[in-house]
Amino acid sequence: MKTILVLHTGGTIAMEEDRETGVVKQQQQNPLMHYSPDLLGHVKLLVEDVFHLPSPHITPREMQTLQLLIDERARQQHLDGVVITHGTDTLEETAYFLELTLQTDIPVVLTGAMRSSNELGSDGLYNFLSAVKVASSEEAKNKGVLVVLNDEIHCATNVTKTHTSNVATFQSPQYGPIGIVTKRSVVFHQALLRRERYRISQAAKRVLLLKAHAGMDDMLLGAAEQLPLDGLVIEALGQGNLPPATVPALQRLLQRGVPIVIVSRCFNGIAQDVYSYEGGGKQLKELGVIFTNGLSGQKARLKLLVALEAAADVSEVARMFS
């Protein structure tokens, strides 16, 4: 008998559609609270309603609450896995935060739904059943935090929401899913080669995320200089380049000791210090800007937030991204 801890946090999977207006709204109680999937008696569910929040209301504070709760439960009792139901808008961010900070090796699986509980073609129950299957699978051990929807298993580091409403929204650009869920089994065909894990006591740093565009000047960066900023992530152009008008403000922020992380606004490829013109990646790297290895902007922001809590200085933060 496998024991799976189920943590409900809200989201579309816990909502319903108003038949008259078509709007989707929260219910007083999560419809999955008392649902027990038929897995031939092989799984025991321990169910907790941790939050009842739409995912845009989830912050690093709630993410850390989940991390502390899971690590505490894993220490106190025998668990074979954890399933978290979550709204899809920020699901990938919670999954990646847990990937960076959880101290347990038991399978932790996040799932959600694109259609609410009473909509035609609702996918919540099916995704929940698939997530329980994966969390109770022996093959899921030591694979890191996983995201399971639409019969696919993705790792938290690479997965992202790619469509506003399609049930196949969660994809891993460049890499694809690491496994699939079938009617009879859970099948893995690849895994991450390298994982990271950090111990942090809080997640309270102020890290800003900006997106570069043609003709970008120093207006937003100048405003950022006036903020009590701990770190900055920029989704840069191409392989990691910025318009030249941004460079003076970047230099001033770096001189203040604010770590600046560059990712690409492209969802395939990685940011690299290749171009040597004004604002090019080579110049930015020489100034002290940190380049990532394929993270999205939202995940780089979370990693910088965690790194600032875990590292002793900016040089150590830079090493965490290398």
Mean pLDDT by 10 residues, the chain (322 residues): 94 84 78 65 89 96 98 96 97 98 97 90 91 96 96 97 96 96 94 92 96 96 95 98 97 97 95 96 97 95 97 94 89
Burial call 229-268: b when 16+ CB within 10 Å, e when fewer: bbbbbbbbbbbbbbbeebbebbeebbeeebbbbbbbbeee
How many angstroms separate the CA atoms of 239 and 94, rounded?
A: 27
Q: Return the structure tokens found at 302.
A: 């979370």
Rounded Cα distance between 178 and 149, Å, is 12
The reply to whether 157 belongs to the active site is: no
Q: Report the pLDDT value the prediction gives residue 25, as an integer from 0 to 100.
A: 80
The answer to whether the beta carbons of residues 306 and 317 sit under 8 Å apart is no
* Alpha-helix runs per DSSP H in 26-167: 60-76, 91-101, 124-135
pLDDT at 37: 62
Q: Which two tokens stand for residue 139?
A: 């093959």
The per-residue pLDDT for 40 is 46
Q: Which of these is catalytic: 3, 9, 12, 160?
A: 12
Residue 282 backbone dihedrals phi, psi, to 5 degrees: -65, -45
Please report the pLDDT score of residue 42 as a whole number: 83
Ramachandran assignment for 10, one of left (phi > 0), alpha (psi -120 to 50 degrees), beta (any other): left
Return all residues near 122 (Cβ < 8 A) that are at least 6 apart.
Answer: 113, 115, 116
